[in-house]
Structure 1
């Protein structure tokens, strides 16, 4: 095959590789989240009070988020210095190996306090890996995109989240059909061990994608930055803060409607583990279908305008969600959660391309990774903990949870408005300069 033909296929290959790679990374991340809600409290943090065990389990879940900014800084630096592709190959291997090790880890009854210590360490490795993964995947897809298609192509990296969730729910739905003793003994480990197969598949796919053409150009011109993170902090820290806020509902919403919702419905609504997993599986399929439609629509009406509408809709969505979830029946629960998820997922699909366009190529990996992962550490890591606290503090009342979700979406809306205003100011200044 000639080189032009191979080059013409690279955008599609890059988008596919971004999707498959992030799907595997998020599968690994989500199976930990599901296990944290279902089994880790019992096996690694035994207590006479289920609330204490659940909070301890979600605390280890949060540790992974707090490690993500480290991954964003380390791999953002490497991605801006030596290339996006090398950084992504490393993050995928780290995540896969750590996940398999979780599946092999003995529990508290076998090795005592060493068990939760090792669990936390492996969770840190997972956090560092996914912290470096997201920015590179978004850029490999977006920087390979044809002119004017960055938003749509970058959204393929975002598709990895619902696809990984679907895989994780399928895996856990299969093992939760076992009786309780077998599930707690060995069944929960199988989804973690299956990651070894996915790791091999992901590596093979990513080997077939060329380095980002935009990065290749600045490297060939010797325009890479020696310390990209330092330049981000010195020249673009205000933009980073706004991007951290802008990502809030796209990140926190996922863990509110999935991780926290598992614990909430099983402990306070009284539904079974299998029923809520079935509901979340159906909602994840809806999310997978909604995201590319949202990215396509955003290209036509403008990313900033679309994000404002999506964030506003997300602010209103938790109220019908909770009303329907309280029924405890499958169809109303699916509809209720889907309302919130479609609003959140539409925002999540578009935000990656929007944020990546804010920063110059030479520091883009570091800037968007730092923005996304710091937000992930705060909004994503703390959301299940705050939700669990509110549910325990206001037993039988869902409105504090809905207000909390609305506040998360409002943060994103305000930051998108501010980012759009700054972009308009830069555009006006550029036109004035050319006119003069």
Structure 2
């Protein structure tokens, strides 16, 4: 077992590295809702251009299962540390390149095509980031503190949201013409500098001690598909509300508020910034409770609350009152956060250590495909329903119930292992 200093270094690296990764990834979502439709799809009508923008956003999720297999293989065969270094480099370079990409007016169809390629690289990188950072934190953690340390990479998500939404909010202070012409590029170019910071942090951490003790004899993806496909389905199910719900309540909500409801951009950006700030105390409490009551119970509890509040969240947003809009987003994201804090520890525990990176990455990123497509489908339903919010609320309710069932299934797996007196799967 590593000492306290190494534990703190791993926890810091998990948080900082993941925060920078999610800054890059979420930044695309904010830009897709606010400006990409005009820069890369100017010849389409506004509604269709927004759908095309969200479809480009969703491409990053479609490729994530491939990224999960790729970085799962690297992480389970060559080491968690090498996989995390690669994900950081790919994400930082591809995000910075988006800031340099000419628009449709300059290079025509090549502009959205190159945007899609860079989004694919972002998706491949994100596929391995969360899984690897979570495993590094959990596998270094002492018994009885895995919920607390396993939540460290999860703090990176709200931090990334704050950084990306804050950067985009500052850019929107420019006059509209300047923002569309060049202002939106600045937050993307900042990614080059953040990449240097993240790389310095990541290179200082040691490899997972559990990885160093495990033997690896066959391709991890084949072993997972052969013997642990049920666990992959459970991981997908437990994760779906967080991946899908988060993007419904951030990316889709920003587009819905600014287009369908006619709300100012700064109101909708506040509806992502303020809830993101509130995630930190909610996550800290949930992580503590996960160590006390078990991660499965906390994930199930959070999913249940998300289901109960799905329609009230959108009813609050539909009032068009800035205060109630922010309150609705905060309630919805807060319920998801209860689950998110304990999720990494839960799904890591249902896979054997030698296949854990691959198993977790496959489950999480298959869920990411569904979750990443939800803003696109929700926007399509928005058009068909005459700008009504009930289809989006129904989608949020459905995935919350799905995650509730997945969390209960994962909890049963852990209970069965405990009753059979098998070794604890994270130890």
Cα shift readout 1:383-417 (whole Å, capped 9, x = no counterpart): 10121122212225322221221001000011112
Matched, 1:406 2:397: yes
Q: Is the 8 Å Cα contact of residues 11 and 146 (structure 1) preserved in structure 2? A: no
1:393 maps to 384
2:425 maps to none
2:410 maps to 419
Q: Is the 8 Å Cα contact of residues 21 and 126 (structure 2) preserved in structure 1? A: yes
Matched, 1:70 2:66: yes
Q: Which runs of 5+ in 1 are unaligned?
A: 432-436
1:190 maps to 186
Q: Is the 8 Å Cα contact of residues 85 and 199 (structure 2) preserved in structure 1? A: yes
Q: Where in structure 2 are the equivalents of 1:27-426 lying within 5 Å?
A: 27-218=23-214, 223-378=215-370, 380-426=371-417
Using a 3 Å threshold, how does the CA distance of structure 1 residues 390 and 321 change in structure 2: closer, same or farther?
Answer: same
Q: Is the 8 Å Cα contact of residues 271 and 330 (structure 2) preserved in structure 1? A: no
Q: CA deviation at 1:139?
A: 0.7
Q: CA deviation at 1:21?
A: 0.5
Residues matched between the structures, number: 422
1:434 maps to none
Q: Secondary structure at the match of 2:184?
A: helix
Moved more, 355-364 or 45-54: 45-54
- In the alignment, the residues of structure 1 paired with residue 231 and residue 136 of structure 2 have an alpha-carbon distance, to the nearest angstrom, of 22
Q: Pairwise CA RMSD of aligned residues? A: 1.4
Q: Is the 8 Å Cα contact of residues 80 and 225 (structure 1) preserved in structure 2? A: no
Cα shift readout 1:276-333 (whole Å, capped 9, x = no counterpart): 1122211110112211211111211222122211111000112221221122222211
Q: Normalised by the size of structure 2, how large is the TM-score?
A: 0.96
Cα shift readout 1:211-230 (whole Å, capped 9, x = no counterpart): 11111122xxxx12331111
Q: Is the 8 Å Cα contact of residues 248 and 392 (structure 2) preserved in structure 1? A: no
Q: Secondary structure at the match of 1:257?
A: helix
Cα shift readout 1:179-213 (whole Å, capped 9, x = no counterpart): 11100110000000001111000011111111111
Q: Secondary structure at the match of 1:247?
A: helix
Q: Secondary structure at the match of 2:63?
A: helix
Q: CA deviation at 1:70?
A: 1.2
- In the alignment, the residues of structure 1 paired with residue 29 and residue 262 of structure 2 have an alpha-carbon distance, to the nearest angstrom, of 20
Cα shift readout 1:11-37 (whole Å, capped 9, x = no counterpart): 111111011001001000011111111
Cα shift readout 1:221-276 (whole Å, capped 9, x = no counterpart): xx123311110000000111111111010111110110000000011111011121
- In the alignment, the residues of structure 2 paired with residue 400 and residue 99 of structure 1 have an alpha-carbon distance, to the nearest angstrom, of 32
- In the alignment, the residues of structure 2 paired with residue 246 and residue 279 of structure 1 have an alpha-carbon distance, to the nearest angstrom, of 25
Q: Normalised by the size of structure 1, how large is the TM-score?
A: 0.94
Q: Is the 8 Å Cα contact of residues 138 and 352 (structure 1) preserved in structure 2? A: yes
Q: Is the 8 Å Cα contact of residues 311 and 344 (structure 1) preserved in structure 2? A: yes
Q: Secondary structure at the match of 1:317?
A: helix
